Amino acid sequence: MANVCKLVTNRILGCGQCTARLAVVSSGWNSSYSTAAQPASSPQKEYQFVVVGAGSGGMAMTNAIARKFGKGSVAVVEPHDIHFYQPMWTLVGGGIKKKEESARPMSSLLPKDADWFQTQVSKFDPDNNIVQTANGDALKYDFLVVGVGFELNIPQIKGLQEGLDGDPMVCCNYSYKYVDKTYKAFQNFKSGNAVFTQPASPIKCAGAPQKIMYLAHDYFRRNGKLQDANIIFNQGLPKIFGVAKYAAVLTDICKQRGITVNLNTNLVEVCHDKRQAVFQKVDKGTPEFVTYEMRYGKRKNPIVCGGGQRSSGVTGGQTLKTLLTRYLKYEMMHVTPKMSPPDVLKSSPLAGPAGFMTVNQHTGQHTKYPNVMGIGDCTDIPTSKTAAAVAAQTGILKKTIQAIMNNHDPAKVAHYDGYTSCPLITGYNSCVLAEFDFDLNPLETFPIDQGKERRTMFHLKKDFMPQLYWNLMVKGLWNGPGIVRKLAHLGFSK
């Protein structure tokens, strides 16, 4: 590490304060910017920096590094042609945006001064400071930044892949391939159970599974379908939301709108040919199947109740037959799949027992390899996995890298407080802007109560945040709203 520090002493990160169009950026890196990257044709194999992954975090760090250190200083390993602004997919699922608006060519966002290896990583070898690629390249680095994100594990829920491919009423906002099925399901919904699921395991943006549910409720209300809809949220976790303030708000919204919430209820199977789903209760030592009463009477379709669901349209004069079943019938179902870091990371020395990259939660520095940094969803940083969290972590990693290059302790100059944000859309013109820290305490930007549904916050999510993302965040120029928060609260905020 001493040799690394000597190598870059005269090229320290952080020369001056950058300016940007929104004038609220807290970046210490120069703001000149250029794009039009192309896959490396005859690349070198030794780099000062190697960045693995060009999602939100990897893209931001690649741009920040290339902007400061220039051509030949950084290689980025990223196999995909297209970069997606995934937070927009809730709006796509609700019919508010077109999915094409969430996609831009990777080459238009990566800096031209970076060498782009358009392939996958096959092996991390941090003991020798080498990243192996699927194309056979061995990339040696002084510093490594890992931002490989999450991958969707759709096959881990039995029948889900077949349901997404074969049933127009099974949908998922977490995939570009399937996201436009959701609004079509809204439109084709007639009556019955509209089921929305969230697994018990970590996912990207933990609020997204219920955002689309609130949009469904609002769509059904506006289009005369609500009286025939039974909206159900089967949440695998023990709380509707992790932060008490916002959980209380969302619980109240569900009660007011007649939405049934079943906690500790995990989807385990989709039977799309019969439009049925199987759930387990996971709050006990051994998971138990949820059972439902199927009552047959004069109605053409069975009336599903039990298991936390409601029965409607039953009169006292009807003769009903009842049986128990583990199958919940749905008219439409939005499924949030299980997710995890990619296998190549989980099987590497960088990962801990749970498969996440182990880093210092305050600095982003790996707990064993001091010249390796992690950012975003693939790390074990204990905060909600959102683009807002990645923005704040970008600023922290810049400070961490600068400290290491100066042979200083990163903990003395970099301290991530866990800031993350989840704009909880609750309808077609309302949103609760949840912001909080490691301790699940609200860390709100604006000097108002953000625990209320507001039209302004909806437009912040819909109109402002995409511009912030494309124009600042992916360029490494947005490190979160810390400065804005200080100004808005007259300096009396964290």
Q: What is the DSSP string of 445-467?
A: SSSS-TTS-BHHHHHIIIIIHHH
Report d(CA 259, CA 218) in Å as an integer.
12
Burial class (CB in 10 A: 0-12, 13-18, 19+), 56: buried
pLDDT of residue 305: 43
pLDDT of residue 296: 55
Active site residue 271: no
pLDDT tens, N- to C-terminus, the chain (494 residues): 444 343 333 333 333 323 232 222 333 444 433 455 666 655 569 999 999 999 999 999 999 999 999 999 999 999 999 999 999 999 999 999 999 999 999 999 999 999 999 999 999 999 999 999 999 999 999 999 999 999 999 999 999 999 999 999 999 999 999 999 999 999 999 999 999 999 999 999 999 999 999 999 999 999 999 999 999 999 999 999 999 999 999 999 999 999 999 999 999 999 999 999 999 999 888 889 999 876 555 444 444 444 444 433 334 444 556 678 899 999 999 999 999 999 999 999 999 999 999 999 999 999 999 999 999 999 999 999 999 999 999 999 999 999 999 999 999 999 999 999 999 999 999 999 999 999 999 999 999 999 999 999 999 999 999 999 999 999 999 999 999 999 998 877 66
Using the CB atoms, write b or e for 299-308: b if 16+ within 10 Å.
Answer: eeebbbbbbb
What does DSSP assign to residue 119? S
Please, which contacts does 292-298 make with residues 24 or more away whose CB atoms are closer than 8 Å?
Answer: 292/324, 292/325, 292/326, 292/327, 292/328, 293/322, 293/323, 293/324, 294/322, 294/323, 294/324, 294/325, 295/320, 295/321, 295/322, 296/320, 296/321, 296/322, 297/321
Please identify which of the residues 172, 205, 378, 431 carries the catalytic annotation: 205
Report d(CA 259, CA 254) in Å as an integer.
5
Active site residue 431: no
State the maximum Cα–Cα separation within the chain, in Å, rounded to a whole number. 87
Q: How many helices (H) and strands (E) does the chain have?
A: 13, 25
Q: Identify whether the C-beta of residue 266 lies closer than 8 Å to the C-beta of residue 280.
A: yes
pLDDT of residue 432: 98
Q: Identify whether the C-beta of residue 69 lies closer than 8 Å to the C-beta of residue 29.
A: no
Run of H or E including 288: strand 288-289
One-letter amino acid for residue 161 of the chain = Q
Q: Identify whether the C-beta of residue 364 lies closer than 8 Å to the C-beta of residue 373.
A: yes
CA dihedral 392, 397, 399, 402 (to 10 degrees): -160
Please identify which of the residues 18, 271, 422, 431 carries the catalytic annotation: 422
Report d(CA 355, CA 353) in Å as an integer.
5
